[in-house]
Structure 1
Amino acid sequence: MSRPQLHFTPRDHWMNDPNGLIYFNGEYHLFYQYFPYENAWGTMHWGHSVSTDLVHWKDLGIALYPSKPYDRNGVFSGSAIEIDHQMVLYYTGVIYTAYKGDDIHRQGPDAFEACQVMLTSKDGYHFDNQQKHIVVPTFADDDPIGHRVHTRDPKVWKQDDRYYMILGSKFLQPGHTKTTGQVLIYESLDGQQWSYCTRAYDDTIGTMWECPDYFTLDQQGILIFSPEHIYKEEYNSVNMWTKATFDPHSQTMQIDPEIQLLDYGRDLYASQTALDEQGRRFMISWMRMPLPDQDQEWIGMMAYPRLVSYHDQTLYTTVHPHIDELFTQPTTTFSSREARKLLVTLQDGQSINIGGLVLTYQNDHLLSDRTQVFPQNQIGTRFETPTLNGKCELAIYTDQYITEIYVNSGRYVLSQIVYGQHDTIISQVAYQMFKIGA
């Protein structure tokens, strides 16, 4: 079976967004959007895996599945939080109002309704799918706050003595012909009864915002979200971040107008964060794949878990130490089927070709070209970073089907899905390479 050596993949068929990421009772729990019948998106379930170290994962099968009238067509994305020593899951339940042809697993255009649902587990292993209930009902068509179809992906956190939920949504502003992406924030004293607080939006960024996540690093609020209809290509949605401030007393959220890409490779999407066993903020993200693995057994993987930090007025992401510390054995042999770490510094005009993926430092930008190792379709093959201020130091992590490029200590990252890499590196400059130690 063709699988990455370290990157997380589903046991079979389709996987997309990470859900319910949490460190609970000494273990990491990773849930994810899962369609167990085909290598394509369909009626969503939550797959479930656990790990003690973010490296070795134990598959536990399906945790959540459609079981109620209000989620009969899908258990969409959501989050997890610990309340009173129990794991509480929040997700979006979906009803289709029309099918795509005669396929019961796929809806017609905008032909569904969404509500927000919660379920509690005492141990994080057993989930009673009959003991669910709605906490934020479906919006009416004329509701001025949220959208009946496109309100989803609850992320819940505790701040002071209250719980807060952030939702992705959209709305139509008066006089506009296109909708505006937004986040909605709700408040609760107990995690069960919720009331609306506020909204925040930027009408220059996308027509719908999904998979939002709000957290604080070094007293700076950070908003991560995935706006839709940013590009004309097939992947028209991207993962972005910005500085934001949520004030629970005035019930307002202010969003900084400088909104940036979270990853410049554009395959990465729907990132979700949690705290690790040391209280450090880390992130797991879905890597979109246009084709399944060569054995046609699975499609979709997660990028490496990344530490998230904020300094010098910007966000940095780096490979989590639990992963990074595995690369202790120097090697001169590159294998596209095994995990590798490369360290290289490029000067202007220099390039390195990693099995067909070409990285070039030119005019103070890092350029990535995967034309040789990616199917020719409507998804982009050439990407670049913003200006790098005269320095291009790279930590490059490769594994089967994926290369992650961390630029200048994680100031920028380009994550790339690749197919058919060969086992040769052609470089104009010296580099170091490491494999997993014994």
Structure 2
Amino acid sequence: MAMAMAVQASWLGGLACIFSTSLLFQILFSNYGVKLFMYHFINDVRPCSNGGGLFFCPQSPNAPSILSSKDRTAYHFQPPKNWINGPMYYNGIYHEFYQYNPDGSFNPNTSYNIVWGHSVSTDLVNWITLEPAIEPDTPNDIKGCWSGSATIVSGDQPVIIYTGVIDIEKHQVQNIALPKNRSDPYLREWTKAGNNPVIQSGVPGLNSGQFRDPTTGWIGPDGLWRIAVGAQLNGYGAALLYKSEDFLNWTRVDHPLYSSNASIMFECLDFFAVLPGSNNGLDMSSAIPNGAKHVLKMGMNFGEDVYVIGVYDLKRDAFVPDTDDSRLWPRIDYGNFYASKTFFDSKHGRRIIWAWTTETDSSSDDIAKGWAGIYSFPRTIWLDNDGKRLLQWPVEEIESLRRNEINHQELELKKGDLFEIKGIDTLQADIEIDFELTSIDDADPFNPSWLFDTEKHCQEADASVHGGIGPFGLVILASDNMEEHTVVHFRVYKSQKNYMILMSSLTPGLDTPAYGGFFEFDLEKERKISLRTLIDRSAVESFGGGGRVCIMARVYPVSLVDDDHQPHVYAFNNGSATVRVPHLRAWSMRRAQTFFLDVSMCCYDIGHYTCIAIYRYCMIRMKIDAAAMNREEDKDEGTEKEDGGASPYPALALGVKAAEKEGREDRGGEGEC
């Protein structure tokens, strides 16, 4: 039995700097020598371009409000940034590093000033944005600090390895950076290794302008560290393999980890181990258990993240894929999803993935907005029982944003039926719905050629085209007259392959391809097909069949001019066969909290441990104020809980003066934080 999943939908730049008209200030230990410690809660962030820096600058009175934009997401990670780099979990803190363009909200390929942005979180939902971790200030990266990865070496030593661009021809080398102070819980400052570049091109047949994105390290059976670097070798894509005893001095292995003519270049590589049927993640710096498979993820030259499952041949030190037919390599996500990166979360024993999602409106729109690009919501990723496909699901922490749950059970959708889902914020929602097939006899025949051009098939068989079983699914972000809407749907085909979701945005002039992907599903044993869709204003993430196929899309409905005009959401069926909905659950979603720390005004004369205490206090304070903000949000909607109340730490007035320098007592020594 075959089913198909398809999407019809809709880049990451950054702000020059940020100003908040609603700041929360806190003076801490003023007699200990702190001038002022502040964190900025974003209520109204505005772009400016006067070179005022990342964290604080004068407001342009005519600049548009970023958060007043109906397209800016509420709970997807969205600081000023571009490509994803090396996320990691270290000492209780999640670190997200990302490519940030300080020159504005345009494609950073036109800029030579790409830096590594840095944000931290304790829950993968609410974030604090710090100063850039790495900036182009040496001959080894003077034209940009491009993508790379973070690795925890020897159990407690974080190391970043990244690509440096050394000239205007964009010749590329690989560099190392180490934390300046490992006891700083936020790892704010990084020092570049004295022997950079640790890896240069110098390989026969290697295009030195296509040599980048080193992976997270792993340990081989000989106890040596290994990394792979994406490259163009003799005109084809390759994952070049390097070894090291100390993670600082690297030697190239005389053969690639893997190479293929499927692409002229492999970039944004990822390499990790998985166990069939287990959603537990595996730490690549530890011994890998018997029976594990390996996954090589590659960014292809046509802008898609594909992966291939296989085995890591330890004797040959090479990756052997289960299939070399690149036409059958599945994508991590069949939508707007690129430069993805995974990391092992040692706290929860899971592997997490997320990716860069571009804007698909115009460049002029991005410049007018002052921002461009988001990340997908973090997902747990694991291998299905059959060992053939990766499954993905939003991390459970997202449930902390849910409110106003509504439930429907035992619905029946006949051909042409629409069932409106009411009682939630339809611009910010989480919807879970199960579809149950009353019969599978009406399924249309499957054409295997669709596997090789799924997008074309999705365009030809959109949600308006009747089928035997399907299309059925969700209509979201729909205007009153349905002139604008996005559709997420399934079709069922008789074959060995399964399932397709179609999502679309009808906004004129936008990039709205038909996204789609197939997966196998045994409908003889299981008649239920699940769909989960996250709606976050201009971002739509869908997970079909328990995460067998995932699709990320951007949509920009022009009719939804403000929050007072809520779009409609429907469950629908446009196929001949009746479809039952045994369970439908939906929630409104709160806004996640993002803070910008102005650490330049902290820790002048205090000691290191006092500064750490301040940071920890501020993290707690952030959570308290975020909770208070959410209670106010609930109160506005009449859903305030009985134990709700005002924050015990009210915000101080804007413009609090720094503590005077005179009369301060230095209790912390001379260490910096």
Say whether the fold is shared (TM-score over 0.5).
Answer: yes
Aligned to 2:32: none
* Residue number among 231, 243, 262 corresponding to 1:169 in the alignment: 231
The reply on whether 1:144 has 2:204 as its aligned counterpart is yes
1:40-81 Cα distance to aligned partner (Å, 9 max, x none): 123311000000010110010211110111210100001111
* Residue number among 364, 367, 376 corresponding to 1:303 in the alignment: 376
> Is the contact between residue 152 and residue 168 of structure 1 (CA under 8 Å) also seen in structure 2?
yes
* Residue number among 46, 70, 73 corresponding to 1:4 in the alignment: 73
TM-superposed CA distance for 1:25, in Å, is 1.1
**Greater fraction of residues in strand:** 1
Letter in 2 for 1:302: Y
1:361-403 Cα distance to aligned partner (Å, 9 max, x none): 2344424141314x535x4421222155356320111112111
Q: What is the 5 A alignment of 1:25-424?
A: 25-40=91-106, 41=108, 42=111, 43-84=113-154, 85-97=156-168, 111-121=169-179, 122-123=181-182, 124-129=186-191, 131=193, 133-140=195-202, 143-144=203-204, 146-159=206-219, 161-172=223-234, 179-197=235-253, 198-218=255-275, 219-228=292-301, 236-256=302-322, 257=324, 258-265=328-335, 267-276=336-345, 277-291=347-361, 296-311=369-384, 312-313=386-387, 314-324=389-399, 326-327=401-402, 329-331=404-406, 332-345=422-435, 348-349=469-470, 350-355=472-477, 356-364=485-493, 365-373=499-507, 376-377=509-510, 379-389=511-521, 390=523, 392-420=529-557, 423-424=567-568
Q: In 2 relative to 1, CA 366–247 (structure 1 residues): closer, same or farther, beyond 3 Å?
A: closer
Residue 489 of structure 2: SS of its match in structure 1?
A: strand
2: CA distance between counterparts of 1:130 and 1:168? 22
2: CA distance between counterparts of 1:194 and 1:294? 41
> Is the contact between residue 367 and residue 382 of structure 1 (CA under 8 Å) also seen in structure 2?
no
1: CA distance between counterparts of 2:374 and 2:96? 12
1: CA distance between counterparts of 2:166 and 2:473? 50
1:136-183 Cα distance to aligned partner (Å, 9 max, x none): 44324xx326321101001122325321111111122xxxxxx21111
Q: Give TM-score, length-normalised by structure 2.
A: 0.57
> Is the contact between residue 29 and residue 49 of structure 1 (CA under 8 Å) also seen in structure 2?
yes
1: CA distance between counterparts of 2:315 and 2:549? 34
Q: In 2 relative to 1, CA 118–434 (structure 1 residues): closer, same or farther, beyond 3 Å?
A: same
TM-superposed CA distance for 1:201, in Å, is 4.0
> Is the contact between residue 490 and residue 502 of structure 2 (CA under 8 Å) also seen in structure 1?
no
Letter in 2 for 1:227: M
> Is the contact between residue 368 and residue 384 of structure 1 (CA under 8 Å) also seen in structure 2?
yes
2: CA distance between counterparts of 1:271 and 1:381? 20
2: CA distance between counterparts of 1:346 and 1:371? 27
> Is the contact between residue 157 and residue 164 of structure 1 (CA under 8 Å) also seen in structure 2?
yes
Aligned to 1:16: 82
Q: Give TM-score, length-normalised by structure 1.
A: 0.85
2: CA distance between counterparts of 1:424 and 1:407? 21
2: CA distance between counterparts of 1:298 and 1:20? 22
2: CA distance between counterparts of 1:26 and 1:139? 37
**Aligned-CA RMSD value:** 2.4
2: CA distance between counterparts of 1:249 and 1:134? 30
Residue 84 of structure 2: SS of its match in structure 1?
A: strand
1: CA distance between counterparts of 2:257 and 2:512? 30
TM-superposed CA distance for 1:7, in Å, is 0.5
Residue 322 of structure 1: SS of its match in structure 2?
A: helix
1: CA distance between counterparts of 2:371 and 2:117? 13
1: CA distance between counterparts of 2:264 and 2:554? 26
Q: In 2 relative to 1, CA 29–414 (structure 1 residues): closer, same or farther, beyond 3 Å?
A: same
Answer with 1 or 2: which has the greater Rg. 2
Q: In 2 relative to 1, CA 209–436 (structure 1 residues): closer, same or farther, beyond 3 Å?
A: same
Aligned to 1:104: none
1: CA distance between counterparts of 2:382 and 2:212? 27
2: CA distance between counterparts of 1:406 and 1:282? 15
Q: In 2 relative to 1, CA 414–128 (structure 1 residues): closer, same or farther, beyond 3 Å?
A: closer
1: CA distance between counterparts of 2:190 and 2:501? 49
Q: Percent identity?
A: 25
1: CA distance between counterparts of 2:319 and 2:206? 16
Aligned to 2:572: 428
TM-superposed CA distance for 1:327, in Å, is 3.0
Q: In 2 relative to 1, CA 426–392 (structure 1 residues): closer, same or farther, beyond 3 Å?
A: same
Residue 17 of structure 1: SS of its match in structure 2?
A: coil
> Is the contact between residue 307 and residue 320 of structure 1 (CA under 8 Å) also seen in structure 2?
yes
Size of the aligned set, in residue pairs, is 404
2: CA distance between counterparts of 1:346 and 1:239? 31
Residue 397 of structure 2: SS of its match in structure 1?
A: helix
Q: In 2 relative to 1, CA 74–28 (structure 1 residues): closer, same or farther, beyond 3 Å?
A: same
Letter in 1 for 2:260: D
> Is the contact between residue 180 and residue 201 of structure 1 (CA under 8 Å) also seen in structure 2?
no
Q: Note the residue ranges of structure 2 that are not aligned, 5 or more in a row.
A: 1-66, 276-291, 407-421, 438-468, 478-484, 494-498, 561-565, 574-580, 591-633, 635-673
1:322-364 Cα distance to aligned partner (Å, 9 max, x none): 1145436414334354243342427522242101111232344
Residue 547 of structure 2: SS of its match in structure 1?
A: coil
**Greater fraction of residues in helix:** 2
Letter in 2 for 1:352: L
